Amino acid sequence: MKAIILNTSAWMIVPVMDAYAKFLSSSMDVLQITWARYFFTVVFTLSLMLIFYRQSLVWSKKPLLQLIRGLILVFSTYLFFYSISFISLPKALTLAFVAPLIVTALSPFFLKEKVGIRRWTAVSIGFIGTLIVIRPGFIEFNLATFAALGNGICYGFYLILTRKLSTSDNPLLTLLFTGTVGALILSLFMPSVWINPTPNQWIMMAIIGLIASVAHLFLILSLKYADASKLAPLGYTEIITNILISYYFFNELPDNWTYLGLFIIVLSGLYISRREYLITRSNI
135: left (phi over 0), alpha (psi -120 to 50) or beta: left
pTM (predicted TM-score): 0.88
Q: Please report, for residues 2, 13, 22, 37, 236, the alpha-carbon distance to residue 249 in angstroms, rounded to integers and kept in the order given.
A: 31, 15, 11, 21, 21
Q: What is the pLDDT of residue 281?
A: 65
Helix (H/G/I), strand (E/B), else coil: 29: coil
Question: Do 119 and 280 meet the contact criterion of CB atoms below 8 Å apart?
Answer: no
Q: In angstroms, how far is the first alpha carbon of the chain from the final one?
A: 23
With CA atoms as reference, report the closest residue to 32 among 213, 205, 211: 205
User: Would you give per-residue pLDDT tens digits along the chain (284 residues)?
Assistant: 777 888 888 889 999 999 999 999 999 999 999 999 999 999 998 888 887 777 767 777 778 888 888 899 999 999 999 999 998 899 998 888 888 888 888 877 776 777 778 878 888 888 888 888 877 655 556 788 889 999 999 988 888 887 777 666 677 788 888 889 999 999 999 999 999 999 999 999 999 999 998 988 888 778 677 766 676 777 888 888 999 999 999 898 888 888 888 899 888 888 878 777 776 666 55
Residue 234 C-alpha from the chain's centroid: 13
pLDDT of 236 reads 83
Give CA–CA dist 180/226, Å, rounded: 28
pLDDT at 210: 93
CA neighbours closer than 13 Å in the CB half-sphere of residue 164: 21
